[in-house]
Structure 1
Amino acid sequence: MRSIRAAATGAVVLSLALTASACGGGTSTGGGTNDSPKKLTYWASNQGAGIEIDKKVLRPELDKFEQQTGIEVELEVVPWSDLLNRILTATTSGQGPDVLNIGNTWSASLQATGALLPWDTAQFDRIGGKDRFVDSALGSTGADGQDPAAVPLYSMAYALYYNKQMFADAGIQKPPATWDDLVAAGKRLTGDGTWGIGVEGSNPAENIHHAFVFAQQHGADFFTADGTADFANAAAVAAVKQYVDLMAKDRIIAPGNAEYAQNQSVSDFAKGKTGMLLWQSASANLKSQGMGEDDYGIAPVPVQSGTPGPGRQVNSMVAGINLAVFKNSDNLDGATRFVKFMTSDAEQKILNTAYSSIPPVKAAQDDPAFNTPANAVLKDTLAQSAAALPQVPDESQFETAVGTAIKNLFADAAAGRAVTTASVKAALTKAQQQMPNQ
């Protein structure tokens, strides 16, 4: 195994080379970690329809924390297009925040850098104990056999959102349960300026989430049992081709979606430009864009055949956001108190309600707000038919390399260039060659 420093550096170089929106230096506004016991810096991920919406959600809660503890929290909301690069750069420079949100799929990769504070039993006890959190959320906090690198903050699952009126107008009686049904419904919804479904074709993270789910349904994994990259196996190629073919072959996705990178597909759905949307816990996002809850339905993401369930009937990755602490913070006590605050029962109810996500804290899940019909779909998915992305040290590089390969395949489809089994295999082979030690 390569050294921790080499892992971090390789991740930074690869990510900067492949991601369009590169980091501007990796420090938070006002510097990185600070030496004041009365101040913390916090990088939050963009969870709402825009950064300003996130600030409106978070600022009152951070002010509440300051009132309770006397510790001021300096907030920066970082777009997803920049977040991984910012974090990776911070792990090598040492100039990062005290506390930060990370995509839960990155946990093992960032853990391998050695930059994040491990959450052993004693550290978990300081925030109320590890057993407060649901198992599915804890399963995406780091590599097996190691102390977690982060603490679950928001849990999410993908679902199929569909426009009820557009379905009725097209004579579609029920939401699609299989991918053949999805394509058939998409074709009936496409025409006269509307499209069947929207995607974020230029967003590597969204691409990899869907490709992973498709691959699971095809019986494929992108890594072998020993953690070796295996991107171009036949089942993975078939899965990626099926996804891109929604635009290239089935023509139920607008070609312009190949350039979508952040929330544009949600906006199109809210405006009635598309009849379906595959998204993580989208209700709050849709509400902020003026779409009422009665205007759309929520169903499980389709599977190849049958219904979602255990085994290869996976229909979502275990989505979510974890809260991590940089080990070199000069205010580890304050950072731990902040994590305790953000994962308290009361704050979990407030924050997860605001973002239409599911609390990873057991006690908060029992609140009636998280037992609506819409949330039932998400909770059932997380409990029964979601799978965690590989918790391997090279996971973040995998997301960037394969997600960018799919971005390029969508660009081919939008430009009218053929997307074939051979071209998909070539793209995935190239992505694998960009991985460390290949």
Structure 2
Amino acid sequence: MMKKMFKALLATGLAVLLLGACGNAKKEDGQKESKQVETSADAEKKTDGEKTELLLWMPPFGTEDTLDKEMWKKVLAPFEKENNCNVTVEVIPWSNYEEKYLTAISSGAGPDLGYMYMEMMNDYIDMGALEPFDSYLTDKEKDNFYYLDKGVIDGKQYALPIVVGNARILCYNKKLLEQAGVEKAPETWDEFLAACKKLKDAGITPIQQQWGDASKGSLNSIFFPYLWQAGGDLFSEDGKQATFNSEAGKKAVEFLYSLKKEGYLPDSATSLTTNELYEQFKTGQVAFCVVGTNKGKGFTEAGVDWDYITSLKDKKNATFVAADSLVLLSGSKHKDLAAKMALYMLSGPSMTQFHEMAPFAPVGKDEEYHDNEQFKKIYEEEKDDLHTLPAVKGSAAIYDNLYKNLQLMMLGELSPEEALKESADFANEALAQN
């Protein structure tokens, strides 16, 4: 019992520390801003031979971080030449992505342009760390981009969506299902559980999940879809109250816990990472997994006979879709050039190169659809089933605490009810301070 209490307190303490750092950063950033920002007139004083230095932060999408860095350097080479600048590309691991931003912004050492997912943004807007793109967008660019509305927060264009897609889908190994006598892919929770029983009885591991991954982004695959499928949601519409400790939330966590309790989800799930999950499915060790659509190409190249359904259904069909964006940092000394770089990165030719490494749907009219054709129906016929995370202030720390408590649940140290209650109590206390 003491071990359980210690872990829960540790998770809460870390999240509160992060929130406290955010609050302190707002004051420090405001104090330093006048020293950091270089005016356009100052920039023009540079000699013709002196290059402007820009720093770009991106997460990894390739199988190795070096692939992302090499790809972006290749994409940006013409931009560097045309604008007499040098772009340093830093690829930040998902496992400490938010920590890296928080530490850098608090000390005034962030990038000029960076990549953020929606649940991060409100905190940094509140800190005064993000600059809107409104003044940098032309009417032509506004007409070209499909998803600009997803980057509008508090009435301003704080974000330019770069990844809208990578929906989390339930993939299945057709040969393994056939071996177990599962005649068709399940569509509902009950059908899924029945299929898992047949697979287990046939000596086949039914499903794997990455409960040991360091990144709380795993919740996009292993919790959020089930909460939405049960008819629940994360927050109230005004973002002031956590709503996941509901009957729908309880049903979702009990469904997930039952997978482990019934032996459908192996014990190794509690130490499994996302990359290990992909490898197990690619090598035919597991029948089901929920992954992003950008992994489908790898499964096919590995020779897996696979297919997918977009989501299971309890009360409704629902799954997660990313809406991640480029953001302009207020501390940049070269905002005009950084904004110009953002628009260059989002242009059709640049996105085509990015999507060769990381298949996603286009974000603008100036790029053809390069993603796997089998996923096209998700974005054209099933788009109402796709959910993004809301931009709620403090939600990053809330999700971190939720993930830790759900991990304790899967380890058997918290009951499903305790995991939800402790997470919701933390969330509502944090939201009350906003």
Query: Do these two structures clear the TM 0.5 threshold for a shared fold by scoring above it?
Result: yes
For residue 16 of structure 1, report the CA deviation from its aligned partner: 9.7
Letter of the 2:276 counterpart: Q
Matches within 5 A, 1:59-208: 59-120=73-134, 122-125=135-138, 128-134=140-146, 137-143=147-153, 145-156=154-165, 157-190=167-200, 194-202=204-212, 203-207=215-219
In structure 2, what residue type is equivalent to 1:13?
Answer: L
Does residue 353 in structure 1 map to residue 356 in structure 2? yes
Q: Percent identity between the aligned chains?
A: 22
Aligned to 1:241: 254
Name the counterpart of 2:66.
52
Structure 1 stretches of at least 4 aligned residues deviating more than 6 Å after TM superposition: 32-36
Residue 123 of structure 1, CA deviation: 1.8
What is the alpha-carbon distance in structure 2 between the residues aligned to residue 176 and residue 198 of structure 1?
A: 16
Matches within 5 A, 1:243-322: 243-247=256-260, 249-283=261-295, 286=298, 291-292=302-303, 295-304=305-314, 313-322=316-325
The equivalent of 1:225 in structure 2 is 237
- 1:139 is displaced (CA, Å) by 4.5
How far apart are 1:103 and its partner, in Å?
1.7
Question: Structure 1 residue 314: deviation in Å?
Answer: 4.3
* TM-score, scaled relative to structure 2: 0.80
What CA deviation, in whole Å up to 9, does each residue of 1:393-413 have, x standing for no partner? 22222222212222222222x
Whole-angstrom CA distance in 2 between matches of 1:87 and 1:179: 38
Indicate if the aligned counterparts of 1:159 and 1:300 stay in contact, CA closer than 8 A.
Answer: yes
Provide the rounded CA distance (Å) in 1 between the counterparts of 2:37 and 2:278. 35
1:411 matched to 2:411? The reply is yes
2:391 corresponds in structure 1 to: 391
Q: Cα deviations across residues 265-319 of structure 1 (Å, max 9, x unaligned)?
A: 11211121211221122336725x9524x632132121215xxxxxxx3422231
| Alignment CA distance shift 1:437-1:162 (3 Å) | same
Secondary structure of the corresponding residue to residue 366 of structure 2 = helix
Provide the C-alpha distance between the structure 1 equivalents of 2:186 and 2:149, rounded to a whole number of angstroms: 30
Cα distance between partner residues in 2 of 1:238 and 1:229: 20
The structural deviation recorded for 1:118 is: 0.8
Give yes or no for contact 1:12–1:89 (8 Å, CA) kept in 2: no
Task: State yes or no: 1:333 paired with 2:336.
Answer: yes
- Determine the structure 1 residue equivalent to 2:32: none
Contact preservation (8 Å) 2:355, 2:370: no
Q: Which AA in structure 1 matches 2:233?
A: D
- Matched residue type, 2:156: D
DSSP-derived class of the 2:210 partner: coil
Structure 1 counterpart of 2:253, one-letter code: V
Q: 1:49 to 1:223 in 2, by over 3 A?
A: same
Write the distance in 1 (CA, Å) between the matches of 2:380 and 2:246: 31
Contact 2:15 2:401 in 1 (8 A): no
1-structure distance, mates of 2:295, 2:37? 34
Alpha-carbon spacing, 1:88–1:142, altered in 2? closer, same or farther (3 Å): farther
Please list every run of 5 or more consecutive structure 1 residues that lacks an aligned counterpart in the other structure.
1-9, 18-31, 306-312
Residue 52 of structure 2 is matched in structure 1 by 38
Give the stretch that moved more between structures: 391-400 or 94-103.
Answer: 391-400
Deviation, structure 1 residue 153:
0.7
CA contact (8 A) 2:76 2:345 kept: no
Task: Using the TM superposition, name which of 209-218 and 295-304 deviates more.
Answer: 209-218
SS of equivalent residue, structure 2 residue 171? strand
CA distance in 2, matches of 1:105, 1:142: 13
- CA offsets 1:147-168 (integer angstroms, 9 cap, x no match): 1221111222111222222222
What's the RMSD between the two structures over aligned residues?
3.1
The answer to whether the 8 Å contact 2:171/2:308 transfers is yes
TM-score normalised by the chain length of structure 1: 0.79
Q: Which amino acid aligns with 2:101?
A: I
Quote the residue 2:402 is aligned against: 402
Between structures 1 and 2, the one with greater helix share? 2
d(CA) in 2 for partners of 1:316, 1:424: 22
**Amino acid in structure 1 at the alignment position of 2:432:** N
* Residues 111, 393 of structure 1: 8 Å contact kept: no
SS in 2 for 1:226: coil
Are the structure 2 counterparts of residues 182 and 369 from structure 1 closer, same or farther at C-alpha, using a change threshold of 3 Å? same
SS of aligned partner of 1:264: helix
CA 1:114–1:191 in 2, change beyond 3 Å: closer, same or farther?
Answer: farther
* Aligned positions, number: 392
Q: Secondary structure at the match of 1:324?
A: strand
Q: How far apart are the structure 1 equivalents of 2:128 and 2:92?
A: 22
Larger radius of gyration: 2
